[in-house]
Amino acid sequence: MRRHAALALTCILWAIPATLSDAQSPAQAESAPTSGADAISTPAAQASTLTARSTLVLVPALVRNKAHALVFTLKADDFALTDDGVPQKLTMEQDTGGEPLALVIDIEGGGAGVDELDKYRALAPMLSSVVGGVPHKIAVVGFDSSPVLVEDFTPDNDRAAHAINALIADDSGDKGAAILDSLGFSLDLLGKQPTGYRRAILLVSETNDHGSKLRLDEALREISDTNTAIYSIGFSSGMDELKNGSANALGSSTPGPAHGCMSRDPNDPTVDLSKSPAEQAYGCLELLAPPLALAKAAVIAIFEGLQKNIPETVARLTGGEYFKLGSEKNLERDLATISNHIPNRYILSFQPQSPHPGLHAITLRLPNYADLAVTARGSYWADSEAPTAK
């Protein structure tokens, strides 16, 4: 774990192909989740006409009743979705057969994770249940102050389980907890897989980042602009880290480049220290992609969430789920829940009409079913491109 891995981050995970249907309906017992996405703008393209690389946005949705039982009987018309407050016409994706799954097990072996290693032992024997009966690949990533690939994608569950057990036995992680860097590393691994694979990350980490080099705005783009669902199991960081949140990773306590938009230098005349770090980070993002009011509120809420609890926030962003790490038995129960929920989601889609560049806040509801709860992704990115030169 003390080895340093090359952090291979894609700058932006661009919009998914419109032909990609990375999940199937709840009726299929063996499949996996995904999140549709578009991409983010660039400064040179702000004044240009938006051109969507894919006009199809996928929205996996999990529906449960008050007894927490899954509900499978709904139709597209039962759902109501808004994109920055504007109602959208929804389509429910049809069953497409058991598409394969690419899964990254992303485990913290440093920082506060050193004290939790024994509880991770429930992961290895549960792998077969989590991936189900579809064709699949599993990769294992461990991280402390930097991520490292413990096992590259393999269809062999036993090899992946051996890698998890080896990481637990290694027990040599440093004090770092570069959660955002590791997520970026894992997303990059998944981005290299064939488009026919649905993609998911199972993240086991503490709540706060310590040591990531990925900036807050970069992290938001990496995580939001992807068709990967993140399932998170989190545990508390140390008291000092909880008090400070994810300041080091998110840049809220560091000066940043002189006269840059992320600067917190009190001697910098361009800095407005009356703004919170989240509001300031949003201002930097606004230079690239000025969204509407609802999207701005969503960005600030996401920034604040990343400072308080990264595993929970990224799960919510991608339409995955968050669990608190308890005992080894509790972990087994949570993994069983994840294995049941991964394949049993409605896959809704819509085609946004002339979306503004940047983050879009989406809301999915069941207006005629007050007794049902729906879980789905809360945002996506849209990109703009400069007009083709005549």
Q: Reduce the DSSP state of residue 191 to 3 states and report it.
A: helix
The per-residue pLDDT for 126 is 92
Give pLDDT, residue 76: 94
Side-chain half-sphere exposure of 60, counting CA atoms within 13 A:
34
333 and 362 fall within a common domain: no
Q: In the block, which residue shows the tokens 């690419």?
A: 102
Q: What is the CATH number of the domain that holds 277?
A: 3.40.50.410
- Give residue-wise pLDDT tens across range 31-63: 333 333 333 333 333 322 333 344 688 898 999
Give the number of other CB atoms < 10 A from CB of residue 114.
17
What are phi and psi for residue 60, nearest 5 degrees?
-65, 140
Q: How far apart are CA 313 and CA 320, in angstroms?
A: 10
Assigned domain for 29 exists: no
Is 321 part of any domain? Answer: yes
Residues 6+ apart with CB under 8 A from 364: 59, 61, 79, 80, 81, 348, 374, 376
**Range from 44-53, 292-301, 371-380 that averages highest in pLDDT:** 371-380
Other beta carbons less than 10 A from residue 202's beta carbon: 24
Strands (E), 56-120: 57-64, 80-83, 86-88, 91-92, 101-108
Same domain? 62 vs 86: yes
The answer to whether the Cα torsion of 139, 24, 41, 268 is positive or negative is: negative
Lowest mean pLDDT among 7-16, 168-177, 237-246, 334-343: 7-16
Q: Span 245-262, mean pLDDT? A: 45
Q: Report yes or no: 241 and 249 within 8 Å, Cβ to Cβ.
A: no
What is the pLDDT, as a whole number, of residue 260?
55
**pLDDT digits over 56-110, tens only?**
888 989 999 999 999 989 999 999 999 988 999 999 976 544 678 899 999 999 9
**117: which 2 tokens?**
């290693």
Query: Is 162 in contact with 64 (CB distance < 8 Å)?
Result: no
Residue 390 lies in a domain: no
Sheet order of strands, 379-382 included:
86-88, 80-83, 358-365, 379-382
Distance, CA of 205 to chain centre = 14
211: number of Cβ within 10 Å:
20
Confirm whether 291 is domain-assigned. Answer: yes
Predicted pLDDT of residue 383? 67
First-to-last C-alpha distance (Å) of the chain: 53
Q: State whether 249 and 368 are in the same domain.
A: no
Do residues 285 and 323 both lie within one domain? yes
Same domain, 112 and 75: no
Q: What is the pLDDT of residue 264?
A: 60
What pLDDT sits at residue 246?
Answer: 47
Mean of pLDDT over the chain = 75
Q: What is the pLDDT of residue 23?
A: 36
Q: How far apart are alpha carbons 93 and 44 in whole angstroms? A: 36
Do 120 and 62 fall within a single domain? no
Does position 290 have pLDDT exceeding 70, yes or no?
Answer: no
228 band by pLDDT with thresholds 50, 70 and 90: confident
Let me know whether 257 and 204 are in one domain.
yes
Residue 172 has, within 13 A of its CA and on its CB side, a CA count of: 6
66 and 124 housed in the same domain: no
Tell which residue, 198, 160, 182, has the closest CA to residue 343.
198
Residue 325, pLDDT > 80, answer: yes
pLDDT of residue 261: 59
Q: What are the angstrom distances between the C-alpha of 321 and each of 21, 337, 342?
A: 21, 10, 10
Q: Indicate whether 147 and 219 sit together in one domain.
A: yes
- Does residue 9 carry a pLDDT above 90? no
Tokens at residue 125, please? 């024997």
Element (H, E) at 324: strand 322-324
- Average pLDDT (20-25) is 36
Tens digits of residue pLDDT in 183-216:
999 999 999 998 888 889 999 999 999 889 987 7
Would you state the pLDDT for residue 41?
35
Strand partners, 87: 82
Name the band, by pLDDT with cuts 50, 70 and 90, for residue 360.
confident
Whether residue 60 sits in one domain with residue 140: no
Q: Return the closest-CA partner of residue 194 out of 131, 129, 136.
A: 136
Residue 238 is predicted with a pLDDT of 64
- Number of domains observed in the structure of the chain: 2
Q: What is the mean pLDDT of residues 239-247?
A: 45
Give the domain range for residue 85.
Answer: 43-95+349-382
d(CA 10, CA 3): 21
* CA dist list (Å): 10 to 14, 52, 188, 303, 321: 9, 19, 6, 21, 24
Residue 367 belongs to some domain of the structure: yes
Q: How far apart are CA 73 and CA 315, in angstroms?
A: 25
Evaluate whether residue 5 is within a structural domain. Answer: no
Quickly state the pLDDT bin for 176 (edges 50, 70, 90): very high
Regarding whether 252 and 114 lie in a shared domain, the answer is yes
Query: In which element (H, E) is residue 346 found?
Result: strand 346-350
Say if residue 25's pLDDT is above 80.
no
Does a structural domain hold residue 318?
yes
Q: Is residue 2 part of a domain?
A: no
Band of the pLDDT at 278, cuts 50, 70, 90? Answer: low
